[in-house]
Amino acid sequence: MTVTVVYDNSEATELCAAQHLYLKPIAKLMINVLLPESPEPSRPISNWEVLDQLKSLICPDQFTTVRLAKSTRDFIRFEGEAETRSLVQILKAKLHGKIIKLNGLETDLKVTVTDAQGEWECFPKENGATPMGDGSEEQDHDKSPNSIYFEGLPCKWFAPKGSSGEKPCEEILRVVFESFGKIKNVDIPMLDPYREVITSGSFGGFNFGLQTFEAFIQYQESTDFLKAMKSLHGMKLMLKGNDGKALACNIKVMFDTTKHFSEGAIKKRNQERLKLQELEEERKKAKKREEEKAERKRKEERKVQEKRRKARVKRRTQKERDRHRQRRQKNSAKVEAQPGSNSSEDLEKRKIPLTQTQLEALYLMRALLRKIADCSPREHCRAFLIPLQLPTLEHNTWNSK
C-alpha cells in the first residue's frame, strides 16, 4: 500500500464529488529479464545493474515506481508502475523483446513484459455462486456474496471536514460507495472499541504517514455489488485537493468470504460485545471500590498525621513553658543569693531618708509662707534675700510635729 503524487489524472473517473474522491487506473508492468541457461555465469549479475539498463531503454520516459519483485537462477522480475495506462503501453513496446548486454557477460539477456493489473480472488465454491450470477431476485447472503472487504482506506479522506481527529465516518463511507448502488450495511471495525479485544488484532495501520482503516460494505442487490467490484478492479483511490494537486493510494478490495453481515456473525459479535461491556462495568466498579478504599485510607492517614502533629506542637509548647519557668526560677535564685537585695529591712532603711527629705521640704515651705505673711510688702523682698536658719531636726522630731 503506497501513496503517490499524481501528475497526470486524465484517466481518473469520479467516485464521489462531495469528498473529492476519484478512481485512477493502476498502470503496472511485470518485467522479466531471462538469465543465461549456464549454471555458472562468467561473473555475478547485479539486479541493480539490470535495472539501470531497463531505465536506459525507456528513456526519456520514466517509471513512477519500480521495485524488485523476484530473483531466481532463471529470471529477474521487476514490477514497474507508470503514470497512466497509455504510458504503460508505450513502455511495454519499448521493453518487450529487447536485449540487454552486460559488460563481462557473453550471453545477452532477453526482456519480456506483461501487464500487471492483478486478479480477483475466486468466490467460495461452497456457496454455489459465481461473480456473474443470473441476478435472481431472491438471493441469500449465504448463497450469493454481496459484501466487499476494504483494506488500506486513508482515515483522513473519510473523516468529517473540520474535525480535529482523523477517525473515519460510517456515513461518509456509505455516501462514497453508494454511487454503485443502495447499501444495506456498513461496518468499520476501528470504530468499535471492543472489536480489537474480541479478535485480538488491529483494524488499522499507517501508510506513508496516513493512518488507514478496514471496512465492510454490504449492498442490497447483488447486481450493485458486482458493479462495484468491476468498477474497483485495477483501480487506485485518488483524492484531489482544492489546489488541483492529487494523491493516489493503493487499496485492497476483496470479496467478503467471512460472512461478516450474516445473522450468526452479527449475533456472535453482539454477544461478545455484551460480555466485554459487563466485564468493563465490573472493572469500573472494582476500580471505584479500590479508589474509595484508598481515599478512606488516605483520610485515616491524614487524621493520624494531624494527631501526631498536634501532639508534637503540644510537647514543644510544654517544653517552652518548662524552660521559661526554669529560667525565672534561676533568675529569682540569683537575686535572692545577693546580700540584702530584696529583704524588708533594706526596703525600710531606703524609705527613711526619702521620707525625711520630703518632711524637710514640707516644713521649709510652711516656714516660708509664714515669713511672707508676717512681713510688710517692702520686707517681702528682703525676706527672700535673707537665708533661713533652720534647726537640724532628728527624725523623731519631725515625726512628732
Specify the pLDDT at position 137: 39
- For residue 360, the model assigns a pLDDT of 86
Q: Which cell is 171 given?
A: 456515513
Residue owning grid cell 478492479: 233
Of 11-25, 98-112, 346-360, 376-390, the range with the highest mean pLDDT is: 11-25
Checking if the pLDDT of 49 tops 80, the result is: yes
User: How confident is the model at residue 125, as a pLDDT?
Assistant: 45
Strands 246-249 and 235-240: antiparallel
Give me the CATH topology for the region 144-261: Alpha-Beta Plaits (3.30.70)
Q: What per-residue confidence (pLDDT) applies to 140?
A: 46
All cell numbers assigned to 204: 488499522
Confidence band, pLDDT 50/70/90 cuts, at residue 385: low
The mean pLDDT of 151-172, rounded to a whole number, is 87
The 10s digit of each residue's pLDDT in 130-152 is 444 444 433 444 456 789 999 99
Mean pLDDT of all residues belonging to the chain: 81
Where do the structural domains in the chain lie, given as residue ranges? 24-115, 144-261, 268-318
- What local confidence, expressed as pLDDT, does residue 280 receive? 83
pLDDT value at 129 more than 50: no
Q: CA 187, CA 190: separation in Å to the nearest integer? A: 9
pLDDT of residue 272: 85
Contacts (Cβ under 8 Å, ≥6 apart) of 7: 83
Same CATH fold, 144-261 and 24-115? yes
- Name which CATH class applies to 24-115: alpha beta
Measure the CA–CA gap between 161 and 150, rounded to whole angstroms.
22
**pLDDT grade, residue 206 (50/70/90)?**
low
DSSP assignment of 355-398? HHHHHHHHHHHHHHHHHHHHS-HHHHHHHHHSPP-PPP--HHHH
Give the global pTM: 0.62
The highest-confidence range among 17-21, 262-266, 389-393, by mean pLDDT, is 17-21
Higher pLDDT, 279 or 31: 31
Distance of CA 204 to the CA centre of its chain: 18
Tens digit of pLDDT for each residue in 314-373? 999 999 999 888 888 888 887 766 655 555 666 666 667 778 888 888 888 888 888 888
pLDDT the model gives residue 132:
42
